[in-house]
Structure 1
């Protein structure tokens, strides 16, 4: 499975690229490009590589839940990063020995896995990360009913149904993605990244409840709280400035 991506090189690039992973039922343009993240990273000498997750952006529809499992999705992300960095080297002449990652919401949950399977991740910024797995709590039958007009008993199912049935969303593929991710629930207590990691949470984001306990499991982790709820936190200037400052620090 190949994923769509866009590359934004810096004029005076002297640092490894930054990978940007968006949230569920969103896309790279909504979460990062329309608000100027690529330009902010470029100003600091960093190229930006945005990747659209499966069933999002301009990626093709999903045909089964199995192709959207966490393992399959993480593999596709890493393959896409390799392709993007190779193209960056050809176009700019800059050869990166690694990369940093900024992930938000679902993007943060998938970014968590990257250092566990790749030695090239230098630093992580995980924004809006839920310490518990919402997808495994979604009953597929109830979700299908909600999408056809049946009132669900679960508020979470209702919320997911509203998200994936919004205009211009690939509802069927997003439903398969939920099922695929649920086959491998997020279990951060089993294995944690050892690279320097910054958690960013909105002051009114209920989805990140328990993030302090999660961060305590990591050997090199810190937490920054910024204004806003789950969506507003991503767009806050505090999030962006803190993330870029963190990624600019020396690797250790």
Structure 2
């Protein structure tokens, strides 16, 4: 289920691995590759290990359950000795679900583009899947549809992921996570604020990205600087 990592080089064996999970409707390259995260992580001795959301890029649509997807993500982490993970939006939510399932697998989490509004809909991403496939174009998902097609994704496969992914874990479950966590949230991101999320996570730090909306967060220079500082601790 991992994306092909075209950035692998002979020095990677000496670098600590960090899992990177992209956002809904996107791909690893669009979310993390284009902004330069591979090169950035190399400067502090890390190598990026991509994990693609099922149904995105060349990955097949999910055929099992959310638990199956989390099991595969955790298997990749265990096989590669990964305990540090970075996720954007739906990727960040997937990491939180995995951390609740297997808290001992994580030592540090970076969650980008995540906020309290993501806990407002009990259906999670399922309703997005329905809207993407609606015969009548839904203006509320017009941007997601545009970004998904631009990234080369199949709307049907992306929608299948949305309908398979579980809702975010209950905030009460997050209180159990003994994991150092960095939350990066754009000042103009409509999924914010992150007050309830911050109150739920016992070891969380919030960095608000000035004049940044949801989709610009992964490419924000302020986000990159914050991650470097966090991982250098």
1:62-119 deviations in Å (ceiling 9; x for gaps):
4x4xx2x432221111122334x2xxxxxxxxxx5x5211111011101112333152
- TM-score, scaled relative to structure 1: 0.77
| Higher Cα Rg, which structure | 1
Specify the alignment match of 1:223 in structure 2. 206
Cα distance, 1:31 vs structure 2? 0.8
Corresponding residue SS for 1:172? helix
Unaligned runs of 5+ in 2: none
Summarize the Cα distance change of 1:142–1:246 in structure 2 as closer, same or farther, 3 Å threshold: closer
Does the CA-based 8 Å contact 1:8-1:49 persist in structure 2? no
Deviation, structure 1 residue 167: 6.8
The structure-2 alpha-carbon separation of the partners of 1:57 and 1:80, relative to structure 1 and needing over 3 Å to count, comes to farther
CA positional deviation for 1:196: 0.7
2:52 corresponding residue in structure 1: 52
8 Å Cα contact 2:129-2:158 kept in structure 1: no
Q: Which position in structure 2 is the counterpart of 1:214?
A: 197
Counterpart of 1:77 in structure 2 is 73
TM-score by length of 2: 0.83
* Structure 2 residue matching 1:214: 3-state secondary structure: helix
Candidates 161, 169, 189, aligned match of 1:177? 161
Look up the match of 1:103: 87
SS of the equivalent of 2:46 reads: coil
Aligned residue pair count: 225
Q: Distance in 2 between matches of 1:39 and 1:144?
A: 34
Provide the secondary structure at the position in 1 that maps to 2:206: strand
Task: Find the residue that maps to 1:41 and give its secondary structure.
Answer: helix
Q: In structure 1, the residue corresponding to 2:20 is in which secondary structure?
A: strand
Determine helix, strand or coil for the equivalent of 1:207.
Answer: coil
Question: In structure 2, which of residues 103, 113, 131 is the aligned counterpart of residue 128 of structure 1?
Answer: 113
Contact 1:122 1:196 in 2 (8 A): yes
| Residue aligning to 2:28 | 28
The answer to whether the 8 A contact 1:200-1:225 is kept is: yes
The answer to whether the aligner puts 1:3 opposite 2:23 as a matched pair is no
1:189 to 167, 171, 177: 171
Cα contact 1:103–1:111 (8 A) shared by 2: yes
1:233 lines up with 2:232 in the alignment: no
Other-structure match for 2:98:
114
Change in 2 beyond 3 A, CA 1:5/1:212: farther
